Amino acid sequence: MSTERRPRPSFARAFPPSAELDRIVEAFARGDYGRVRAEAPALERSTGDGAVRAAARTLVDRTRPDPLAVRLLVLTGALLAVLFGWWTVHAKAPSSTAPPAASVERVK
């Protein structure tokens, strides 16, 4: 496990000082979004400070997938399903007759 400290993300520089929040921001900076999604809502529920609550909510919001990317992924899956269905319905089985053998001219 690396002990090097990564710089805070630019959006988190204005967050209020809090040891729990700093740990979650550090996890976010490392890319440990699972930990952020697990601990930030608990911090949001347990703290009485509105600024810490808003900061925890911001961190959770930053780990959610982009709605446009989700829509494009769903659209791509639907297009793939339609194309597969069209191919399945309209594809022809290979013909059972073998193509004629090529004629070879023999010169003597």
Note down pLDDT in tens along the chain; length 108 residues: 555 667 888 888 889 988 899 999 999 998 899 999 999 999 999 988 889 999 999 999 999 999 999 999 999 999 999 999 999 998 887 777 777 778 888 887
Q: Which domain holds residue 43?
A: 16-77
Q: Does the pTM of the predicted model rise above 0.85?
A: no
Asked whether residue 9 is assigned to any structural domain, the reply reads no
Does residue 31 belong to any structural domain of this protein? Answer: yes
Domain count for the chain, please give it.
1
Residue 8 resides in a domain: no
Report d(CA 87, CA 105) in Å as an integer: 41
